A = this chain, B = another copy of it.
Amino acid sequence: MDFFKKPLINSTRDAVYHTLKDQILSLTLLPGATISEKEMSVSFGVSRTPVRESFVQLAQEGLLDIYPQRGTVVSRIDLELVDEARFIREHLESAVIRLACLSFPDESLRLLQMNLASQKVCMDEQDYKRMFELDEAFHRTIFEGCKKMNTWAVIGQINVHLNRTRMLRLATDHHWDELYAQHGQIVDAIKEQKPDTAEQLIHAHLHVGIADQALLKEKFPTYFK
């Protein structure tokens, strides 16, 4: 076998999987909604097999609940899980930012500064969708510089559960200006190698704009467990 070539992404299963995942995370498919393999297979114009395999994957990630012979439901948001997702992210990100202050490649530092510049532009243009992507890229770059991409992947997995609550307060203020200012301070702390300062900043940073869970649950009772 010749394993030099990487596996392709041109499988219908992958397409269905990503489409479904996007729809769930964007709340196009609402928490608690019942879906079926058949329904999705006709909607996508494929057979049940790739749909079913996508269901299995999504169930493993906690985005679907499969009840054998009864039905499949988009998982309701588990607030305890959301809390812990935040807990996990905060502590891992703290640990990594401290590493970054000890040693950080110049190239990654340049990427951070370029990212900051792009953020400034997006702020002026009020392009919040791209701003969200840049925020993600900013944090990822820190992990990348510390050679902790697997750790970043773990955060990506658990963040899935945070993202839906984030989406629920879409209309509300996301404090992008505050986040932007903090990003700048974080870069400075890395550059000046001040781990304690950096950790404190990250801590505050990740606590900006946390949704009031009680309020959300009151507003969308059926979306929660």
B150–A84 contact, CB under 8 A? yes
Q: Does A15 contact B (CB under 8 A)?
A: no
Distance in angstroms between the alpha carbons of A53 and B151 in the assembled complex: 26
How long is the Cα–Cα vector from A34 to B1 in the complex, in angstroms? Answer: 10
| Listed stretches A19-27, A85-93, A132-140, A189-197; interface member | A85-93
Select A88's contact among B66, B73, B92, B147, beta carbons within 8 Å.
B92
Instruction: Out of B2, B7, B151, name the residue touching A68 (CB < 8 Å).
Output: B7
Min CB distance, A190 to chain B, in Å? Answer: 18
Q: Check A121 for interface membership: any CB of B closer than 8 A.
A: no
A87/B80 contact (C-beta < 8 A), A57-B56, A60-B57, A68-B7 known: no
Number of interface residues of A (CB under 8 A): 36
Asked whether A8 is an interface residue with its Cβ less than 8 Å from the other chain, the reply is yes
Q: Is the CB of B11 within 8 A of A68?
A: yes
Which one of B3, B73, B92 lies within 8 Å of A67 (CB-CB)? B3
Bound state CA distance, A57 and B95, in angstroms? Answer: 30
Output the residue of A84, A150, A151 with the most chain B CB within 10 A: A150
A84 CB to nearest B CB, Å? 4
Further contacts, 18 of them, CB under 8 A, given A84-B148, A84-B151, A91-B92 = A1-B67, A3-B67, A13-B56, A53-B56, A56-B57, A57-B60, A60-B60, A80-B147, A80-B150, A81-B150, A87-B95, A87-B148, A87-B151, A88-B92, A88-B151, A91-B91, A91-B95, A92-B92
Q: Which residues of A approach B to under 8 Å, CB–CB?
A: 1-3, 7-8, 11, 13, 34, 52-53, 56-57, 60, 65-68, 70-71, 73, 80-81, 84-85, 87-88, 91-92, 94-95, 147-148, 150-151, 154, 158
Q: List 16 A-B contacts (CB under 8 A).
A: A1-B70, A2-B70, A3-B67, A7-B66, A7-B68, A11-B68, A52-B53, A53-B53, A56-B56, A56-B57, A80-B150, A88-B154, A91-B92, A92-B92, A154-B154, A154-B158
